[in-house]
Amino acid sequence: MSDAAPVRKAKGTVFVQPEVCKGCSYCIEFCPTDCLEFSREFNAKGYHYPVLGRPEDCTGCGLCGLYCPDFAIFGMRFKDIEAAKAASLASHPTR
Amino acid sequence: MTADPKGVLTGVHFLDGDHAACEGALAAGCRFVSGYPITPSTEVVERFAQRIPMVGGVFIQMEDELAASITMLGAVWGGKKVMTVTSGPGLSLMMEHLGLAYITEAPCVFIDVQRGGPSTGLPTLPAQADMMQVKWGSHGDYEIIALVPDSPQECFDLTIKAFNLAEQWRVPVFLMMDEVVGHMTERVVIPEASAIEITERRWTKKAPGEYRPFDACADGVPAMAKAGDGHRIHVTGLTHDERGWPALTPKSQDKLIRRLTNKIRDNADALADIREDQCEGADVIVVSYGITSRVASSAVLQARAQGLKVGHARLVVAWPFPTTRIAYLATQCKAMVVPELNLGQMVHEVSRAVAGKVPVLLVDHAGGTVHEPQVILDRILEAAR
Amino acid sequence: MSETTLNDDQDLSGLPLVDNPVMPYLRQERIPHIWCPGCGIGTTVNCFTRALEEAALDLDKVAIVSGIGCTGRVAGYLNLDSFHTTHGRAIPFATGLKLANPDLNVVVYSGDGDLFAIGGNHFMHAARRNMDLLVVCVNNFTYGMTGGQVAPTTPIGATQTTMPFGNFENPASLPFLADAAGATFVARWTVFHVRQLTRCFKEALGKKGFRFIEIMAPCPTLFLRRNRLGDGVDMVRQYKERSVLRNGADTKEVAVGMEGDIVVGTFVDRERPTWLDAMNSHFSSVLGDRYRTYGG
């Protein structure tokens, strides 16, 4: 354990709707920190969807979301998530 | 409501039909025309181009009739009353957008100044050979309204009626002129704006989120909106549901297409406009329309002078065809005569309505000039025998 | 369900979930859309919606007009006043819409076949007139919706269903056509260039005049598959490797083929009066007081 690489702290994370994903792999391919990978599981349509293989490397840059042709994934910095959650609550009071 | 005085050239004028039609459009509130030059209709848009900068609105000569016929549809959804103008070859190009106008229920007016055809035909000479084309020329099942003027005065009056019907029924309306009516110059009386009845577009009163652009009111016609008002409408040529969203199933097709056709078919009797003269108990009834009516009138008078009881029924609304009325008129006579500037178009509708009750005789003409009254008289006499 | 992913009906330590920032710009009930896995159209829409957000436009005044084809379906998915018109005729429809209500910000969003084959004439004239429209062309080198026929942009040698032995017809260079016709803003990007494309959209949305953006995008099901070019991601990797940024490039020199450089960037950015501006200033000068400015 003592020879392990320094622990990286993630600056953001991704949100995925697995059922909407069509497995095109743009997000995985173009993630600048290479932190995404295909899931082991299939969605109902039979596609593998992206998961955070190395969540500690996610910077929340959102490039995955910009590439996604299906609006299935988007990324966000943790510091922006708080503000977005508040906005989300405001527009979905029942959640 | 009444006409906007800015577009009304009140007075007694000496105008040809093309010019009178332009004035009718302006009086009706038309403030956007997308056109393309084609003989013998060009004068309509030339006058509009001249008049509209002072009245307030836009004229644009597009690059072809394909563009002209869809540019006006964009302007409909921008909130304007719109028109395009053409003749046979251009009308053929406009067929696709007639269909788009129909399925999107866009109120608009097409003026067709008919000329000899088919193809390039006789650009400067009359015919009445596009009558069936407007009813059947676009693909699919559809119903339109078509008005037929017989004089420059009617070119003015019926253009206003065309715009009003378009707004009332959210349907494309045709003004079927011909080269003679378009180029003959006669007295045209344009009244005060306050004497001209205009049908306003039926704007929705619903709020964004509630409004559905294709949700019919009780009369089968949906209320309209325009882009920019926050409704975030979707308008498509695909078969669609009340929201306007594509709905590509046999069920949605049946629902939409039947509603659209019933809008007009169910109201055919109310829309009918036939000018009848001495048709009750006649020996022969002449059924005519447009410029041919004026020639037929002469033949009718001559026949009456010979002691025959001849009625004259002039169609002002050719589509929807006034089946009920023509069927009734067939009970009032022993024969019908249908003169038209073509090789037989509306005569088939007359025959259909008459359903064999009495003989229906066509007085055809390949086009290029109007009938000689004698030819129509001969047929009346033949029918009377 | 993987523990390393947040799902939007799951949350992290009891906190409520976040919406995809793109969602308010889409007709959410119509998602998922019809486009194939790896189709680049969705990516362009993603960039477009981000640009709409960043440009902070009044969305009630943004209208989108499309033609027929896969890209033509974009109008149906955007939560804007949207018009899905006939094949090739989105531009004249958009012309009528804009001229009837000059307050609208009108965007035409359609494909290469729709805009440049059947629609070519209308493209040329709208550019010539400097109609105040933003025209977005997703160029996938094919007619996708109908099953992969040759398009005016299909490179020589590519196989398509109506060129079954390989295309022998010379393709058009879209930026060159746009420039020659008089467009005042001409740019090309690919779906690899998501950030640049978003910026380009935002910039173009704020300008006036006839603006043209070509976006090269993969059609995996038809163009790539028939030409054994792999998946969408393989094509986007190609875009990455072959792209050369040349802002201000001479549009005569930006043609694209099956191989070789793909020149991207903003090629043309100039100012000319729009059709409406020209109409107003001309009528004012010729007609004087008898004329009242239209639309202003």
CB contact under 8 A, A13 and C37: no
Q: What is the CATH number of the domain that holds A50?
A: 3.30.70.20
Q: Which residues pair with C264 in a beta bridge?
A: C245
Write out the two tokens for B61: 């000569």
Interface partners of chain C (CB pairs < 8 Å, 3 or more) are A, B
Residue A38 with chain C: CB contacts under 8 Å: none
Q: Is residue C273 part of a domain?
A: yes
- Is C183:C124 a contact under the CB 8 Å cutoff? no
Distance (Å, rounded) from C-alpha C294 to C-alpha C280?
7
Give the gap in angstroms from C-alpha C172 to the nearest C-alpha of chain B. 21
Q: Is residue C86 part of a domain?
A: yes
Tell me, rounded to whole angstroms, the distance of Cα B27 from its chain centroid.
17
Least CB–CB distance from C96: residue in B34, B226, B234:
B34
Q: What is the CATH number of the domain that holds C180?
A: 3.40.50.970
Q: What percent of chain B has pLDDT over 90?
A: 100
Residue-level pLDDT at B286: 98
Chain C residues whose C-beta sits inside 8 Å of any chain B C-beta? 27, 30, 60-61, 63, 65, 75-76, 79-86, 88-89, 92-101, 103-104, 121-122, 124-125, 275, 279, 283, 287, 290-292, 294
Assembly ipTM: 0.95
Residue-level pLDDT at A4: 61
Domain range enclosing A28: 12-91
Residue found under tokens 């000319």: C272
CB contact under 8 A, C86 and B237: yes
Q: Is residue C33 part of a domain?
A: no
Answer yes or no: CATH 3.40.50.920 is held by domain B274-384.
Answer: yes
Residue C86 with chain B: CB contacts under 8 Å: 70, 96-97, 100, 237
Distance (Å, rounded) from C-alpha C194 to C-alpha C43?
8
Distance (Å, rounded) from C-alpha C46 to C-alpha C13?
29
Residue C17 has pLDDT above 70, yes or no: no
Residue-level pLDDT at A95: 42
Residue B54 with chain C: CB contacts under 8 Å: 287, 290-291
Least CB–CB distance from A71: residue in C15, C31, C233:
C31
CB contact under 8 A, B237 and C125: no
Answer yes or no: CATH 3.90.230.10 is held by domain B5-195.
Answer: no
Chain B residues whose C-beta sits inside 8 Å of any chain C C-beta? 32, 34, 53-54, 56-58, 60, 62-64, 66-68, 70-80, 82, 96-97, 100, 226-238, 245-246
Interval B105-160: pLDDT, tens: 999 999 999 999 999 999 999 999 999 999 999 999 999 999 999 999 999 999 99
Q: Is residue A85 part of a domain?
A: yes
Contact pairs from chain B to chain C, CB under 8 Å:
141
Count of structural domains within chain C: 1
Least CB–CB distance from B70: residue in C86, C99, C291:
C86
Tell me, rounded to whole angstroms, the distance of Cα B93 from its chain centroid.
17
Domain range enclosing C276: 39-290
Distance (Å, rounded) from C-alpha A30 to C-alpha A75?
13
Length of chain A: 95
CB contact under 8 A, C42 and A85: no
Residue B236 with chain C: CB contacts under 8 Å: 75-76, 83-84
Q: Alpha-carbon dihedral of residues B148, B151, B156, B162, nearest 10 degrees?
A: 0
The closest alpha carbon to B182, from B118, B95, B107, B123, belongs to B123
Residue-level pLDDT at C21: 87
Residue found under tokens 């008002």: B229
Interval C144-160: pLDDT, tens: 999 999 999 999 999 99
Q: Is residue A5 part of a domain?
A: no
Distance (Å, rounded) from C-alpha B240 to C-alpha B106?
14
Q: What percent of chain C has pLDDT over 90?
A: 91
Contact pairs from chain A to chain C, CB under 8 Å:
120
The closest alpha carbon to C154, from C40, C162, C146, belongs to C162
Count of structural domains within chain A: 1
The amino acid at A2: S
Q: Is residue A40 part of a domain?
A: yes
Residue A87 with chain C: CB contacts under 8 Å: 19
Find the range with the poorest average confidence among A89-93, B325-329, B348-352, C37-41. Answer: A89-93
Best mutation target among C60, C61, C97 (most B Cβ atoms within 10 Å) is C97
- Contact of chains A and B by CB distance (3 or more pairs under 8 angstroms): no
The amino acid at C276: L
Mean pLDDT, residues A85-91:
73
Distance (Å, rounded) from C-alpha A1 to C-alpha A7?
11
Q: Is residue C7 part of a domain?
A: no
Q: Is residue C25 part of a domain?
A: no
Residue found under tokens 């039609």: B21
Residue C31 has pLDDT above 50, yes or no: yes
The closest alpha carbon to A57, from A78, A79, A26, A33, belongs to A33
Tell me the domain boundaries of chain B.
Answer: 5-195, 274-384
CB contact under 8 A, A69 and C22: no
Give the gap in angstroms from C-alpha C226 to the nearest C-alpha of chain B. 29
Q: What is the pTM of this model?
A: 0.94
